[in-house]
Structure 1
Amino acid sequence: MRATLARRVKERRHSSKMSQRDLAERAGIRQALVSQIELGEANVTLDSLLRIAIALDVDLAGLFAAKGDDPRAGSKHS
Protein backbone atom coordinates (compact mmCIF):
# COMPACT_ATOMS: atom_id res chain seq x y z
CA MET A 1 0.00 0.00 0.00
CA ARG A 2 2.86 2.40 0.75
CA ALA A 3 4.33 1.75 -2.71
CA THR A 4 1.00 2.60 -4.37
CA LEU A 5 0.65 5.74 -2.27
CA ALA A 6 4.23 6.74 -3.07
CA ARG A 7 3.71 6.30 -6.79
CA ARG A 8 0.34 8.09 -6.89
CA VAL A 9 1.48 11.11 -4.87
CA LYS A 10 4.51 11.52 -7.10
CA GLU A 11 2.45 11.07 -10.29
CA ARG A 12 -0.17 13.58 -9.15
CA ARG A 13 2.48 16.05 -8.02
CA HIS A 14 4.29 15.83 -11.35
CA SER A 15 1.08 16.16 -13.36
CA SER A 16 0.31 19.29 -11.33
CA LYS A 17 3.80 20.61 -12.10
CA MET A 18 4.61 20.96 -8.41
CA SER A 19 7.88 20.43 -6.63
CA GLN A 20 7.95 18.57 -3.33
CA ARG A 21 8.36 21.94 -1.66
CA ASP A 22 5.29 23.32 -3.47
CA LEU A 23 3.18 20.37 -2.36
CA ALA A 24 4.43 20.62 1.20
CA GLU A 25 3.57 24.32 1.36
CA ARG A 26 0.10 23.81 -0.13
CA ALA A 27 -0.60 20.90 2.21
CA GLY A 28 0.87 22.57 5.29
CA ILE A 29 3.30 19.71 5.93
CA ARG A 30 7.09 19.37 5.91
CA GLN A 31 8.90 18.76 2.62
CA ALA A 32 10.76 15.91 4.33
CA LEU A 33 7.40 14.18 4.86
CA VAL A 34 6.53 14.53 1.17
CA SER A 35 9.89 12.99 0.30
CA GLN A 36 9.38 10.12 2.77
CA ILE A 37 5.89 9.45 1.38
CA GLU A 38 7.18 9.36 -2.19
CA LEU A 39 9.93 6.95 -1.12
CA GLY A 40 7.38 4.72 0.61
CA GLU A 41 9.06 5.28 3.97
CA ALA A 42 6.50 7.40 5.82
CA ASN A 43 3.95 6.26 8.34
CA VAL A 44 1.62 9.09 7.35
CA THR A 45 -1.44 10.21 9.29
CA LEU A 46 -4.93 10.43 7.85
CA ASP A 47 -4.85 14.19 8.44
CA SER A 48 -1.68 14.55 6.35
CA LEU A 49 -3.13 12.34 3.60
CA LEU A 50 -6.25 14.50 3.46
CA ARG A 51 -4.15 17.67 3.27
CA ILE A 52 -2.13 16.16 0.41
CA ALA A 53 -5.27 15.08 -1.44
CA ILE A 54 -6.71 18.58 -1.17
CA ALA A 55 -3.43 20.15 -2.32
CA LEU A 56 -3.37 17.79 -5.32
CA ASP A 57 -7.08 18.36 -6.03
CA VAL A 58 -7.93 14.66 -5.83
CA ASP A 59 -10.23 12.56 -3.66
CA LEU A 60 -8.45 10.73 -0.88
CA ALA A 61 -9.19 7.46 -2.71
CA GLY A 62 -7.30 8.87 -5.70
CA LEU A 63 -4.07 8.54 -3.74
CA PHE A 64 -4.56 4.78 -3.63
CA ALA A 65 -6.17 4.08 -7.02
CA ALA A 66 -4.32 2.10 -9.65
CA LYS A 67 -3.07 4.11 -12.61
CA GLY A 68 -5.90 4.58 -15.05
CA ASP A 69 -8.54 4.50 -12.30
CA ASP A 70 -9.64 8.05 -11.61
CA PRO A 71 -11.91 8.42 -8.61
CA ARG A 72 -12.02 12.18 -9.20
CA ALA A 73 -15.41 11.69 -10.82
CA GLY A 74 -17.96 12.85 -8.30
CA SER A 75 -17.45 15.21 -5.42
CA LYS A 76 -13.94 16.18 -4.45
CA HIS A 77 -12.44 15.85 -0.97
CA SER A 78 -15.38 13.95 0.48
Structure 2
Amino acid sequence: MLRDNLARRIRQLRLSLRLSQRDLADRAGVRQALISQIELGEANVTLDSLLKIAIALHVDFDALFAAGADTRPLAAAEVQRRHLP
Protein backbone atom coordinates (compact mmCIF):
# COMPACT_ATOMS: atom_id res chain seq x y z
CA MET A 1 0.00 0.00 0.00
CA LEU A 2 2.68 2.54 1.01
CA ARG A 3 4.83 1.50 -1.94
CA ASP A 4 1.90 1.91 -4.34
CA ASN A 5 1.07 5.35 -2.94
CA LEU A 6 4.71 6.41 -3.22
CA ALA A 7 4.80 5.14 -6.80
CA ARG A 8 1.72 7.16 -7.75
CA ARG A 9 2.92 10.32 -6.01
CA ILE A 10 6.36 10.32 -7.61
CA ARG A 11 4.90 9.66 -11.05
CA GLN A 12 2.28 12.39 -10.55
CA LEU A 13 4.86 14.91 -9.41
CA ARG A 14 7.27 13.98 -12.21
CA LEU A 15 4.58 14.36 -14.85
CA SER A 16 3.37 17.67 -13.38
CA LEU A 17 6.88 19.00 -14.05
CA ARG A 18 6.86 17.44 -17.52
CA LEU A 19 9.92 15.35 -16.76
CA SER A 20 10.80 12.00 -18.23
CA GLN A 21 12.08 9.29 -15.92
CA ARG A 22 15.54 9.97 -17.34
CA ASP A 23 15.22 13.71 -16.60
CA LEU A 24 14.21 13.02 -13.01
CA ALA A 25 16.99 10.49 -12.56
CA ASP A 26 19.56 12.96 -13.87
CA ARG A 27 18.29 15.73 -11.59
CA ALA A 28 18.28 13.43 -8.56
CA GLY A 29 21.59 11.72 -9.31
CA VAL A 30 20.08 8.24 -9.37
CA ARG A 31 19.69 5.61 -12.05
CA GLN A 32 16.72 5.82 -14.42
CA ALA A 33 16.04 2.15 -13.64
CA LEU A 34 15.47 3.10 -9.99
CA ILE A 35 12.88 5.72 -10.96
CA SER A 36 11.14 3.11 -13.10
CA GLN A 37 11.20 0.52 -10.30
CA ILE A 38 9.85 3.06 -7.80
CA GLU A 39 7.00 4.05 -10.13
CA LEU A 40 6.16 0.39 -10.65
CA GLY A 41 6.13 -0.19 -6.89
CA GLU A 42 8.99 -2.66 -7.15
CA ALA A 43 11.92 -0.82 -5.53
CA ASN A 44 13.28 -1.05 -2.02
CA VAL A 45 14.43 2.54 -2.16
CA THR A 46 16.67 4.16 0.45
CA LEU A 47 15.75 7.30 2.36
CA ASP A 48 18.77 9.02 0.81
CA SER A 49 17.45 8.30 -2.69
CA LEU A 50 13.97 9.48 -1.75
CA LEU A 51 15.39 12.71 -0.38
CA LYS A 52 17.31 13.29 -3.63
CA ILE A 53 14.12 12.64 -5.59
CA ALA A 54 12.09 15.03 -3.40
CA ILE A 55 14.68 17.75 -3.93
CA ALA A 56 14.73 17.09 -7.68
CA LEU A 57 10.92 17.36 -7.72
CA HIS A 58 11.04 20.58 -5.65
CA VAL A 59 8.79 19.23 -2.89
CA ASP A 60 9.19 18.53 0.80
CA PHE A 61 10.17 14.97 1.64
CA ASP A 62 6.83 14.29 3.34
CA ALA A 63 4.93 15.35 0.22
CA LEU A 64 6.05 12.04 -1.32
CA PHE A 65 3.92 10.17 1.23
CA ALA A 66 1.04 12.42 2.25
CA ALA A 67 -2.21 11.77 0.44
CA GLY A 68 -3.70 15.04 -0.73
CA ALA A 69 -0.62 17.00 0.29
CA ASP A 70 0.14 20.34 -1.25
CA THR A 71 2.50 19.31 -4.03
CA ARG A 72 3.15 22.69 -5.55
CA PRO A 73 6.84 22.93 -6.37
CA LEU A 74 8.90 24.95 -3.92
CA ALA A 75 11.61 27.36 -4.96
CA ALA A 76 14.92 25.50 -5.25
CA ALA A 77 16.44 27.57 -2.43
CA GLU A 78 13.52 26.71 -0.14
CA VAL A 79 13.93 22.99 -0.86
CA GLN A 80 17.65 23.14 -0.09
CA ARG A 81 17.06 25.10 3.12
CA ARG A 82 14.45 22.65 4.38
CA HIS A 83 16.52 19.53 3.65
CA LEU A 84 20.05 20.51 4.53
CA PRO A 85 21.33 20.84 8.10
RCO comparison, higher one (Cα < 8 Å, 6+): 1
> What do you get for the CA RMSD once the two structures are aligned?
1.7
Corresponding residue number in structure 2 for 1:45: 46
Moved over 4 A (4+): none
Cα deviation code 1:15-68 (max 9, x no counterpart): 0000000000000000000000000000000000000000000001000111x3
The aligned length equals 76
Unaligned runs of 5+ in 2: none
Corresponding residue number in structure 2 for 1:14: 15
Unaligned runs of 5+ in 1: none
% identical equivalent positions: 66
Rounded Cα–Cα distance in structure 2 between residues aligned with 1:17 and 1:71: 14
TM-score (normalised: structure 2): 0.82
For 1:40, what is the secondary structure of its paired residue?
Answer: coil
For 2:18, what is the secondary structure of its paired residue?
Answer: coil
- Do the aligned residues in 2 keep the contact of 1:36 with 1:42 (CA within 8 Å)? yes
TM-score (normalised: structure 1): 0.89
Q: Which has the larger radius of gyration?
A: 2
**Is 1:57–2:58 an aligned residue pair?**
yes
